[in-house]
């Protein structure tokens, strides 16, 4: 418990003094002090008067009673630390508001309270490779919670869906289908009974909801506008009856919101609506702002976009959810039928941060077939060379994606056949090597 206890938690000066001597002894000898050792340590403290020493001695003499259950002590001490940390934070906040604290401004109050509320006993200091082998074995055989796709090949390449605490990026050119993909996936997650948060910085909330309506109601965007009110209400009722999840769509002005705003939104939704998302969509990453950096001469687009990606991934870890977002291709990547990671616009730091990244590719031939080509660019869940490319069907009028039969995949999959590994390399003898290079001087 020593690493978590602080002097300021003890309001009584005598208890604080005893704690200081106990802490000094433990830090020096890595063991609990006996009552006699504490008495000697206090006798050597020249700052104590006779009366003070007598009062402290009374406290030490009580240490001889039998100790209760160890876990109970840990739990009670943790509760004590939490209570004292919150109390001290509130007192400090009042002093800041009254102008008595010259070190901090009122802007520091949220961080002070957040640090106090975050006090806990965490004894983990890392994974011991040999001693923790049993835990590691259980981890290997534990089924990780994932958000599955309704598209077969996406489930294959992600081993069943998107795990929590991850950042997943779709790379595509303008108008190819970044928002379509995210709206389709948001609709699918809602159908599974998941809670979905869709943050849009590009289109209005109503436009995103319109696309999800077309997807879930299985009507075209044009027909959606012509639906009578009664029919519209009936279809909404059917959707409600089929799912236990919720979908919240929140719009922010372009380039004005960052993870600080998203965190505040999540806390507000939890407080006011008891809504905790299972997955978050951000449409899209490049038009977010950074909570740490401002674009300037010293901060270029590489650092800025990489900073946004890191902050989004940190948010995914903090709230234990997968985050799905998108990014644009470069000008050359827009017309490229075989997009690579290097075609990522503005910052190559984005693919370095993402856990899963794939390209959405559309050509004239694919458009005629109502198909989109998917190409894996980075995959931390599985081998990215397995099903590196595949196609999915697209119904743009209904904002839906769907699986295609194996015949449609054949022309794509044959290009991903791995090269044979049984070919033998050609070697030359050391004599030949020496004869060929004997005249070379280094």
* Distances from the Cα of 239 to the Cα of 131, 197, 244, 245, angstroms: 50, 17, 10, 10
**Which of 60-69, 124-133, 182-191 shows the lowest mean pLDDT across its residues?**
60-69
Residue 156, pLDDT > 70, answer yes
Instruction: For the chain, give the percent of residues with pLDDT over 90.
Output: 38
Q: What is the pTM assigned to this prediction?
A: 0.67
pLDDT-derived band at 163 (thresholds 50, 70, 90) equals: very high
pLDDT at 441 over 50: no
Assess whether pLDDT exceeds 60 at residue 418: no
More confident residue, 144 or 236: 236
- The pLDDT assigned to 65 comes to 55
pLDDT, position 420: 45
- Give 371-403 pLDDT, tens digit per residue: 999 999 999 999 988 889 999 999 999 999 999
**Residue 119 scores a pLDDT above 80:** no
Statement: residue 23 has pLDDT above 80: yes
Q: Comparing 60-74, 298-312, 391-405, which segment has the lowest mean pLDDT?
A: 60-74
Enter the tokens of residue 195: 């809670």
Q: Are 163 and 322 in contact (CB under 8 A)?
A: yes
The tens digit of pLDDT for each residue in 29-44 reads 777 787 887 888 878 7
- List the CATH code of the domain at 146-416: 3.40.50.300
Strand partners, 390: 374
Nearest to 127 by CA among 112, 119, 137, 114: 137
Mean pLDDT of 405-412: 80
Q: Would you say residue 10 has pLDDT above 50?
A: yes
What are the domain boundaries of the chain?
Answer: 2-117, 146-416
């Amino acid at each position: 418990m020593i690493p978590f206890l602080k002097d300021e938690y003890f309001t009584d000066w005598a208890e604080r003094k005893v704690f200081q001597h106990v802490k000094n002894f433990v830090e020096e000898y890595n063991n609990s002090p006996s009552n006699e050792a504490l008495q000697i340590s206090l006798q050597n403290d020249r700052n104590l008067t006779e009366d003070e020493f007598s009062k402290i001695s009374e406290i030490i003499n009580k240490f001889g009673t039998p100790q209760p259950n160890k876990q109970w002590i840990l739990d009670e001490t943790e509760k004590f630390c939490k209570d004292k940390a919150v109390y001290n934070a509130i007192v400090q906040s009042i002093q800041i508001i009254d102008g008595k604290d010259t070190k901090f401004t009122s802007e520091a109050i949220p961080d002070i309270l957040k640090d106090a509320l975050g006090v806990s006993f965490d004894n983990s200091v890392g994974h011991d490779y040999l001693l923790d082998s049993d835990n590691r074995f259980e981890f290997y055989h534990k089924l990780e919670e994932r958000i599955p796709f309704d598209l077969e090949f996406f489930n294959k390449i992600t081993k069943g869906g998107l795990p929590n605490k991850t950042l997943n990026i779709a790379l595509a050119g303008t108008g190819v289908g970044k928002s379509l993909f995210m709206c389709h996936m948001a609709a699918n997650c809602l159908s599974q009974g998941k809670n979905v948060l869709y943050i849009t910085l590009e289109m209005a909330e109503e436009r995103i909801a319109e696309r999800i309506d077309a997807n879930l109601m299985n009507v075209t965007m044009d027909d959606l506008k012509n639906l009578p009110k009664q029919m519209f209400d009936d279809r909404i009722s059917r959707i409600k009856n089929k799912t236990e999840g919720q979908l919240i769509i929140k719009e922010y002005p372009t380039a004005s919101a960052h993870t600080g705003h998203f965190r505040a939104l999540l806390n507000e939704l939890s407080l006011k609506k008891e809504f905790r998302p299972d997955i978050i969509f951000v449409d899209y990453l490049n038009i977010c702002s950074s909570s740490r950096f401002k674009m300037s001469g010293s901060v270029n687009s590489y650092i800025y976009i990489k900073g946004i990606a890191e902050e989004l991934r940190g948010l995914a870890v903090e709230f234990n959810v997968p985050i799905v977002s998108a990014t644009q291709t470069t000008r050359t990547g827009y017309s490229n039928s075989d997009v690579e990671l290097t075609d990522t616009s503005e910052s190559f730091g984005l693919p370095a941060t993402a856990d899963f990244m794939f390209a959405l590719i559309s050509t004239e031939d694919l458009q005629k077939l109502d198909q989109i080509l998917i190409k894996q660019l980075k995959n931390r869940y599985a081998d990215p060379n397995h099903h590196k490319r595949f196609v999915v069907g697209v119904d743009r009028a209904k904002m839906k994606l769907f699986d295609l039969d194996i015949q449609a995949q054949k022309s794509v999959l044959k290009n991903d056949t791995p090269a044979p590994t049984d070919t033998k390399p050609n070697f030359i003898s050391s004599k030949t090597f020496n004869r060929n290079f004997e005249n070379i001087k280094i």
